[in-house]
Amino acid sequence: MNDPMSASKAGIAARLKRGVEALWSLVRDLGRVVWRALLKVVWPSYAASLSLRERVSGAVVVFLFVLVAWVALAVSFMAGRVFAEHGNKLFGNGPTVSDLQSSVTELSQRLATEQAQREIERATYAKVAHDLAELQSQINEQNEELGFYRSVMTPKNLPNGIKIQKIKILPTENVRKYNVQMVMIGDNRSAAVEQVVAELSVEGVRNNVPVVLPMERLNPSTPKVNFVFRYFDEQQVTLELPADFYPKHVVIEARGTHANGVLKQSFPWRVQPM
């Protein structure tokens, strides 16, 4: 739908344009007539040849021209006053360059403030997520430690009387060397101290052929690992793998002074992140 106010403005503008064009055409025609009349007045020889009727008509034309010019000036003056008083109501009071610049500055400041708030919110959310992840990690570690101590105090599934409860394979600066950490527990119902001797071997693939590398090959200086404990003991050994060897499992065989037979356990080769 067309806006009635916009239609009214367009109509008024069209009428003003037609009035100005008609007034200009009238002034132009009268100018030509006045020019001829002035020639008659200024040029006496030409004026002497005119009749009385022509002289009177020339004077009347000059008078009418002056009158029309005066009326045109009066109309223009009145139209200017009317436009000044009512133009804002008809056509609206448009914003100035200063107003537009102020609006741009205000919007820029608001945009900068909102962007800063978003950055603060993102940083806050990231910190909260990081703190929650650390807290969850600590809870998991505490639960793991709690489970470990429970297994130490109340060991289960120990047919041999001893067991490797936990193993970690950690990388070193040398890409071929790894530190293997082992925690062994025993049946604590006996007051005697348990002494266990463990041998490690690594199962893997070399030249597409399954291979088992014994401890003597991976660490000649420490061919065996000794555990001494009543409840549990933790030991670490360093293994150096050949460059063309791809490990799959770690196999541990252990014999204890009070253990029943030989303990044999196998663990996947999973390297922990540094």
Would you write out the chain's pLDDT as a tens digit for each of its 274 residues? 455 555 565 666 667 667 667 766 666 666 566 656 665 555 555 555 555 555 555 555 556 666 666 677 766 667 666 655 555 555 455 567 787 888 888 888 999 999 999 999 898 888 898 888 888 888 888 887 777 777 666 666 677 788 898 899 999 999 999 999 999 988 766 667 889 999 999 999 999 999 999 999 999 888 899 999 888 899 999 999 999 999 999 999 999 887 788 899 999 999 998 7
Question: What integer pLDDT is reported at residue 52 of this predicted model?
Answer: 55
What's the chain's length in residues? 274
Look at residue 231 in the predicted model and tell me its pLDDT: 84
Q: Where are the alpha helices (DSSP H) in 156-264?
A: 215-218
User: Could you tell me the maximum CA-CA distance found in the chain, to the nearest angstrom?
Assistant: 158
**SS3 (DSSP) at 1:** coil
Contacts of residue 180, defined as CB under 8 A and 6 or more positions apart, other chains included, come to: 167, 168, 169, 170, 200, 236, 237, 238, 239, 250
Specify the pLDDT at position 143: 84
- Which residues, at least 6 apart from 165, have a Cβ–Cβ distance to it below 8 Å? 148, 151, 152, 183, 184, 185, 232
Structure tokens at 99: 């107003």
DSSP reduced 3-state for 166: strand
| 194 neighbors 227 (Cβ within 8 angstroms) | yes
